[in-house]
Chains A and B, each alone.
Chain A
Amino acid sequence: MDTHAISAKERPFARCLLLLCLLSACGRAEAGGADAGFDDVFNRGATLRLAETPEVINVGIEVAPDPRGGFLVADALEGQVRSYAADGALRWHAGRKGAGPGEFRSVVRAVRLRSGQVLATDWNDRFTLYDSAGSAPPATVQTPFKHVEDLEVVDDSTVLVSALLELKTHGPRLHLWNLRRNRVAHSFFAPSRGTPNETAAHMAGWVKAALRGDTIAAVFSLADTVHFFTLDGLRLGAEPIPFRHFRPVAPKMPSGAAVASPVERARWLASFDLVNNVSWLPDGRLVFTYQSMVAEQGLTRRWHLLGMRRGGPALFELRDVPRLMAVDDVRGALYFMTPGSETPNQWTVATLRG
């Protein structure tokens, strides 16, 4: 029996926290004592606006570049999956909040499969499959996954899923899932085992991964380390992320009162940073987003970025940048929320200088 099975009190908040991480937040590139300014690191390009209608409003969005062009958007707070063209035109949208067919409790991510279908995952158990145009009634698949946090397409039949199996916090977090057989082929990467702060691991521990060629890069939100695996899940190694400004969680557990009281919990959560995501650039450089919370503003996020080469020092570290919405690992374009915009559908396209 896993003695670290998640308590009923804590785990729903973990999803809530991850969900809150998707929410829009303003960033100020010039603030925060960073080593360089945003414009020293990035070339700003075109701006982009994701179209909205009375039925479509972008609120808590997670974006995946669509290999067929454009973007796939999963909006956890709206229970909706959207397909956007590269110019921001809305191609189709589907889903709403609920537990019925085609509905989502909290849709986490949508990705394009090699078949052209779109796979969207709910926070727990259920995956939904749309045809390439989102026009046919969707099919649903009950999976063994709980608390799904990320999806990456490996090949025609395999998807890398970041999730828990049997709600074991300290169990493996990455799973190679055969979507045709609905079977987990291999599970690996258990970063929260031995974590210095159990409460933080329960409440704010998530894993994100990115694929490039034959390599998986994975991060655990509480740790300043990037781990590398083969596409079979074999460990290749790990490297420290050379943060200078990352505030790790203190080993001291918060008191029970602090966990139970939303106000005290927010203060505690605002006392450390969390690694939000990892992305590859076409030349093999890695970009990490990390975040701080502002308890006084309804857990608004402040976003920070670090770039590095494998085995190298930090190329840049920027505090208080606009939220990075997506990275096109083929073209090298980075899509940021437009500075000053309060809505997550206003983007600025940027490329890394040098």
Chain B
Amino acid sequence: MDRRHPARLSAALLLALMAAACGRAPARPVASLAAGKPAPAEWTPVEWRRPVPVYVVWLVRTADCLSCQFADYEFRRVAARFGPEVPLLTVHVGRPAAATVPQGFLRSRRLQSRVQTISPAEFARRHGDATLPAILLVRDGVIAWTSSARPPKGTPPVRLDTLVAMHRQLSAARARAPATDDAAGRT
């Protein structure tokens, strides 16, 4: 029995794997979606021609649009109060073919939102085991608040539009502050 052939095959396989590994882009580090972390760059849609100081992100799976969840009420309150000044971005974690589900959900709930679809595998690769579904507030490019973080015990519930108003004020104050504030690392 010629044993050289399997050995050659193993070597070729190893070489092929090494070549594939070399050719692939280096693995992206897991980007946490915790408060205080930068918002992923892909969350800034190209049609937002100017920087949007505060926006809302809804991380949602296909199944979440088919069950009883009522985040839409909060989103409509934000839309009624701030209009297009505070856009809603829906990040749909699911198959591209299932993007019609969140689109149909948003339409029926009378919500304007751009929908970005990302596969569950890719989402896990990028963001680890981030909680889904979740609502996040992004202020000046940084995740400023997330629904997946438990509020301190005894904290009264706060409406989403109230939170948005607070973060808009913080963003405006930051914009008015001298540049040295940024240098000091304040957010």
Chain A residues packing against B (C-beta within 8 Å):
12-13, 15-16, 20, 23-25, 54-55, 57-59, 77-79, 97, 261-263, 265-266, 294-300, 342-343
A266 pairs with B66, CB closer than 8 A:
yes
Give Cα A16 to B76, complex, Å. Answer: 18
Chain B residues packing against A (C-beta within 8 Å):
62-68, 70, 72-73, 76, 80-81, 98, 100-110
A296 pairs with B100, CB closer than 8 A:
yes
B101 pairs with A296, CB closer than 8 A:
yes
Give every chain B residue within 8 A of A15 (Cβ-Cβ): 68
B66 pairs with A295, CB closer than 8 A:
yes
Ordered by A's residue number, 15 sampled pairs between the chains whose C-beta atoms are within 8 Å are A16-B67, A24-B108, A57-B76, A77-B73, A78-B73, A262-B64, A263-B63, A265-B66, A294-B104, A296-B100, A297-B103, A298-B66, A298-B101, A298-B107, A300-B104
A97, A263, A295, A298 interface centre (most CB from chain B within 10 Å):
A298
Give Cα A294 to B102, complex, Å. Answer: 13
A59 pairs with B66, CB closer than 8 A:
no
A79 pairs with B63, CB closer than 8 A:
no
Considering only CB atoms, which chain B residue lies closest to A16 in the complex? Answer: B68
B68 pairs with A13, CB closer than 8 A:
yes
Give every chain B residue within 8 A of A58 (Cβ-Cβ): 110
Instruction: State the Cβ distance, B68 to closest chain A Cβ, in Å.
Output: 4
Considering only CB atoms, which chain A residue lies closest to B62 in the complex? Answer: A263
Other 15 A-B pairs with CB < 8 A, given A25-B108, A296-B104, A298-B105: A15-B68, A16-B68, A24-B108, A24-B110, A54-B81, A55-B80, A59-B72, A59-B76, A59-B110, A77-B72, A78-B76, A97-B73, A263-B62, A298-B107, A300-B104
Give every chain A residue within 8 A of B110 (Cβ-Cβ): 24, 57-59, 343
A23, A265, A342 interface centre (most CB from chain B within 10 Å):
A23
Give Cα A343 to B107, complex, Å. Answer: 9
A12, A79, A296, A342 interface centre (most CB from chain B within 10 Å):
A296
Instruction: State the Cβ distance, B88 to closest chain A Cβ, in Å.
Output: 14
A79 pairs with B73, CB closer than 8 A:
yes
Give every chain A residue within 8 A of B63 (Cβ-Cβ): 261-263
Give every chain A residue within 8 A of B108 (Cβ-Cβ): 20, 23-25, 298, 300
Nearest first, the 3 A-B pairs at minimum CB distance are A297-B104, A298-B104, A298-B105
Instruction: State the Cβ distance, A287 to closest chain B Cβ, in Å.
Output: 24
Give every chain A residue within 8 A of B81 (Cβ-Cβ): 54
A298 pairs with B102, CB closer than 8 A:
yes
Give every chain A residue within 8 A of B72 (Cβ-Cβ): 59, 77
Instruction: State the Cβ distance, B70 to closest chain A Cβ, in Å.
Output: 7
Instruction: State the Cβ distance, B75 to closest chain A Cβ, in Å.
Output: 11
Give Cα A286 to B104, complex, Å. Answer: 31
B104 pairs with A59, CB closer than 8 A:
no
The answer to whether residues A297 and B76 also contact, given A16-B67, A77-B70, A262-B63 and a CB cut-off of 8 A, is no
B103 pairs with A12, CB closer than 8 A:
no
Give Cα A58 to B76, complex, Å. Answer: 11
Instruction: State the Cβ distance, B130 to closest chain A Cβ, in Å.
Output: 20
Give Cα A298 to B4, complex, Å. Answer: 58
Give Cα A24 to B98, complex, Å. Answer: 20
Give Cα A246 to B142, complex, Å. Answer: 52
Considering only CB atoms, which chain A residue lies closest to B72 in the complex? Answer: A77
B73 pairs with A12, CB closer than 8 A:
no
B76 pairs with A298, CB closer than 8 A:
no
Contact of B65 among A24, A57, A79, A298 (CB under 8 A): A298
Give Cα A97 to B104, complex, Å. Answer: 23
Give Cα A247 to B68, complex, Å. Answer: 25
Instruction: State the Cβ distance, A325 to closest chain B Cβ, in Å.
Output: 15
Instruction: State the Cβ distance, B61 to closest chain A Cβ, in Å.
Output: 9
B62, B63, B66, B108 interface centre (most CB from chain A within 10 Å):
B108
Give every chain B residue within 8 A of A77 (Cβ-Cβ): 70, 72-73, 109
Give Cα A298 to B104, complex, Å. Answer: 5
A25, A55, A77 interface centre (most CB from chain B within 10 Å):
A77
Give Cα A266 to B104, complex, Å. Answer: 13
B67 pairs with A297, CB closer than 8 A:
no
Give every chain A residue within 8 A of B67 (Cβ-Cβ): 13, 16, 262
